[in-house]
């Protein structure tokens, strides 16, 4: 009887294992995929930065559930024809929208290796977790954090900021709040950030159950940095009427213009007041790698927690966000939860504590650390720092070009790698210019609003971006601006400015 069942199972397995029947066929196709992927990075300049997907292509993605098998070569063909040409475009040096890193071939290869290992970094005793721990150690060293600080990979800074809010909340209310809920004390908690902070901070307050009303958005100065005297006043008022200020979130690189709050003063103030001091360093924190830029971050070493992304200035392929908490035990207390099936043992695969799942909401987690580890080791932090400084030099070059061109207006100081400017025409024209340029495939800036004016925003976050890409952007703004506003197009050559 047992023999019959065993035979049946074996027969079924032959048809259900997902490994290929013919490994050599798979290998040939895999090599082609890898060659194509490398070519697509090496020849990125030959393509438009971005192109919209035609309706006919989108329609293919409305097909029914694929109940039958499709040949891998055909699926790959569909990827090559219908997906790859219509990606975001951030690999391209002309991409300057939002804050997107360009990735590297090294990061791509590491991601492939990570997929091969298929490691689950929620916990257990294996080397991939040691890689993540090593990166946490490197970050502690770079940011001057103590030995007891914890570090964990997450999707991105939105999640890292949310987790920081949760850690600060648990620290303020005590761990019992995790059991009883935030209760009356929680309803009195108030957090502070600037009006220039990223929207994910308000979203984090919402998700954390504290509500966006409990986030005080403080005015900024002319440099777009939080007005610390206004912050002090607001906190004093809130205390006076019975609120419990528990968190200040500083920006180390505001999303709109890259302004860096006075981190040292904020750290000292938060310490005086007994308030958790979190730094949103989504892209700006990695300026720590550049000796010229690092002084701008003075005080970050005093933060209670820092959120940052390796996928932006760090050029690690998406996604690779990171949260670091000075007091690792407080971090753990905000998330750790015992479970019989996750028991830690003295030996065997379940050995070792603590596990990454003790430091965040995720149990199953991929190996984001590997592509980051490859990137940091292969290029070295000095070279990454030099690349980051160069993107700032390119932003300065763009600023100079804008200031030299009477039809353009600079809208904000250039602090790091972001330039906000506009064509001298109304808001609508400026938004049209951005869409025209994106659709032209020449460059991809994004738009924002600054002091009520529509801005063309160029964030130079891609290591491939060069002077010619900046010149191409300026030429495109002038050309589309002239067309949209009905001005005559005046031929402009890039003036002989000192290019970085
Ligand atoms: C200052 C700042 N904070 C937070 C975020 C959100 O980061 P992510 O997109 O990785 O979630 C960004 C994104 O650009 C940002 O610039």
Which 3-state string (H, E, C) describes the chain? CHHHHHHHHHHHHHHHCCCCCCHHHHHHHHHHHHHHHHHHHHCHHHCCCCCCCCHHHHHHCCCCCCCCCCCHHHHHHHHHHHHHHHCCCCCCCCECCCCCCCCCHHHHHHHHHHHHHCCCCCCCCCHHHHHHHHHHHHHHHHHCCCCCCEEEEECCHHHHHHHHHHHHHHHHHCCCHHHHCCHHHHHCEEEEEECCCCCHHHHHHHHCCCCHHHEEEECECCCCCECHHHHHHHHHHHHHCCCEEEEEEEEECCCCCCCECCHHHHHHHHHHHCCEEEEECCCHHHHHHCCCCHHHHCCHHHCCEEEEECCCCCCCCCCCEEEEECCHHHHHHHHCCCCHHHCCECCCCCECCCCHHHHCCCCCCCCHHHHHHHHHHHHCHHHHHHHHHHHHHHHHHHHHHHHHCCCEEECCCCCCCEEEEEECCCHHHHHHHHHHHHHHCCCECEEEEECCEEEEEEECCCCCCCHHHHHHHHHHHHHHHHHHHCCCCCCCCCCCCCCC
Q: Report pLDDT for 493.
A: 56
CA 240 – ligand 1 centroid, Å = 33
- Give distance in angstroms: CA of 30 to centre of ligand 1: 34
Nearest ligand 1 atom to alpha carbon 312? 10
**Measured in angstroms, how far is the CA atom of residue 186 from the centroid of ligand 1?**
26
Share the mean pLDDT of the chain.
Answer: 95
177-189, pLDDT tens digit by residue?
999 999 999 999 9
User: Using an 8 Å Cβ cutoff, are 107 and 375 in contact?
Assistant: yes
Tell the residue nearest (CA) to atom 14 of ligand 1.
99
Cα 160 to ligand 1 centroid, rounded to whole Å: 10
Is the per-residue pLDDT at 253 higher than 70?
A: yes
pLDDT band at 486 (very low <50, low <70, confident <90, very high): confident
What is the CA(256)–ligand 1 centre distance, in A? 11
Specify the residue for token string 């979130």.
249
pTM for the structure as a whole: 0.96
Q: What distance in angstroms lies between residue 448's CA and the mean position of ligand 1's atoms? A: 15
pLDDT attached to residue 13? 61
Is the predicted pLDDT of residue 1 greater than 90, yes or no?
Answer: no
The arithmetic mean of pLDDT across residues 62-68, rounded, is: 96
Atom of ligand 1 at shortest distance to CA of 158?
11
Check if 309 has its Cβ closer than 6 Å to any atom of ligand 1: yes
pLDDT, one tens digit per residue, over 87-106 is 999 999 999 999 999 999 99
pLDDT bin (cut points 50, 70, 90) of residue 484 is very high
399 lines ligand 1 (CB under 6 A): no
Mean pLDDT of 199-223: 97
Q: Ligand 1: which of 226, 255, 322 to mutate, judged by most atoms within 8 Å of the beta carbon?
A: 255
Asked if residue 282 has its Cβ within 6 Å of ligand 1, the reply is yes
163 Cβ contact partners less than 8 Å away, ≥ 6 residues apart = 154, 307, 323, 334, 335, 360, 361
Ligand 1 within 6 A of 334 CB?
no
- Our answer on whether the CB atom of 156 is closer than 6 Å to any ligand 1 atom is yes
Closest CA to 211 of 185, 189, 184: 189
Q: What confidence score (pLDDT) does residue 375 get?
A: 98
Beta carbon of 304 within 6 Å of any ligand 1 atom? no
pLDDT at 212 over 70: yes
Q: Looking at the CA of residue 283, tell me the nearest atom of ligand 1.
A: 16
Q: What is the pLDDT at residue 495? A: 53
- Residue 389 — very low, low, confident or very high, per pLDDT cuts 50/70/90? very high
Does 492 score more than 70 pLDDT?
no
In this predicted structure, the answer to whether residue 496 has a pLDDT above a threshold of 80 is no
Ligand 1 center–CA 349 separation, angstroms: 36
448 CB under 6 A from ligand 1? Answer: no
Q: Tell me: the pLDDT tens digits for 136-151?
A: 999 999 999 999 999 9
Predicted confidence at residue 313, as pLDDT, reads: 98
| pLDDT tens per residue, range 417-440 | 999 999 999 999 999 999 999 999
Residue 394 has pLDDT above 90, yes or no: yes
Q: Is 365 in the pocket of ligand 1 (CB under 6 A)?
A: no
**Which atom of ligand 1 has the smallest separation from the CA of 254?**
1
Q: Does 417 sit in the ligand 1 pocket, CB within 6 Å?
A: no
| Atom 10 of ligand 1: nearest residue by CA position | 156
Q: Which residue has its alpha carbon closest to ligand 1 atom 7?
A: 157
Rounded Cα distance, 163 and 236, in Å: 26
The mean per-residue pLDDT over the stretch 241-268 comes to 98
Give the pLDDT mean for 219-237.
Answer: 97
């Amino acid at each position: 009887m047992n023999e019959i069942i065993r035979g049946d199972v074996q027969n079924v397995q032959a048809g259900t294992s997902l490994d290929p029947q013919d490994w050599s066929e798979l290998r040939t196709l895999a090599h082609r995929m890898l060659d194509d992927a490398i070519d697509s990075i090496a020849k990125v300049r030959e393509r438009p930065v971005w192109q919209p997907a035609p309706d006919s292509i989108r329609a293919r993605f409305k097909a029914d559930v694929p109940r039958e098998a499709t040949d891998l070569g055909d699926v790959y063909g569909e990827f090559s024809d219908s997906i790859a040409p219509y990606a975001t475009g951030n690999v391209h040096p002309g991409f300057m929208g939002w804050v997107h890193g360009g990735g590297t071939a090294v990061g791509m290869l590491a991601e492939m290796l990570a997929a091969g290992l298929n490691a689950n970094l929620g916990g257990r005793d294996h080397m991939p977790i040691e890689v993540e721990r090593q990166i946490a150690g490197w970050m502690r060293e770079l940011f001057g954090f103590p030995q007891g600080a914890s570090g964990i990979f997450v999707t991105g800074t939105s999640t890292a900021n949310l987790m920081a809010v949760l850690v600060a909340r648990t620290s303020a209310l005590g761990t019992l709040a995790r059991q009883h809920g935030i209760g009356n004390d929680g309803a009195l908690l108030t957090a502070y950030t600037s009006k220039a902070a990223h929207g994910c901070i308000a979203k984090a307050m919402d998700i954390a159950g504290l509500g966006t009303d409990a986030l005080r958005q403080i005015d900024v100065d002319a440099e777009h940095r939080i007005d610390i005297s206004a912050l002090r006043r607001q906190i004093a008022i809130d205390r006076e009427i019975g609120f419990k200020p528990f968190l200040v979130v500083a920006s180390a690189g505001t999303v709109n213009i890259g302004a860096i709050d006075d981190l040292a003063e904020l750290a000292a103030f938060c310490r005086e007041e007994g308030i958790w001091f979190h730094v949103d360093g989504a892209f700006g924190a990695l300026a720590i790698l550049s000796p010229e830029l690092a002084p701008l971050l003075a005080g970050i070493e005093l933060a209670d927690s820092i959120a940052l992304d390796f996928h932006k200035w760090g050029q690690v392929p998406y996604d690779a966000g990171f949260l670091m908490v000075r007091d690792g035990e407080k971090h753990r207390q905000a998330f750790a939860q015992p479970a019989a099936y996750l028991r830690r043992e003295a030996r065997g695969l379940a050995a070792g504590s603590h596990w990454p799942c003790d430091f965040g909401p995720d149990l199953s987690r991929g190996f984001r650390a590997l592509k980051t580890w490859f990137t940091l080791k292969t290029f070295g932090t000095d070279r990454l720092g030099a690349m980051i400084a160069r993107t700032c030099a390119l932003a300065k070059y763009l600023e100079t070009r804008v200031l030299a061109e009477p039809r353009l207006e600079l809208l904000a100081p250039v602090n790091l790698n972001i330039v906000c400017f506009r064509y001298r025409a109304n808001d609508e024209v400026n938004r049209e210019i951005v869409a025209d340029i994106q659709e032209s495939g020449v460059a991809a800036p994004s738009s924002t609003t600054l002091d009520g004016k529509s801005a063309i925003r160029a964030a130079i976050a891609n290591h491939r971006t060069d002077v010619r890409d900046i010149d191409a952007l300026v030429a495109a703004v002038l050309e589309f601006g002239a067309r949209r506003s009905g001005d005559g197009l005046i031929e402009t050559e890039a003036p002989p400015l000192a290019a970085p």
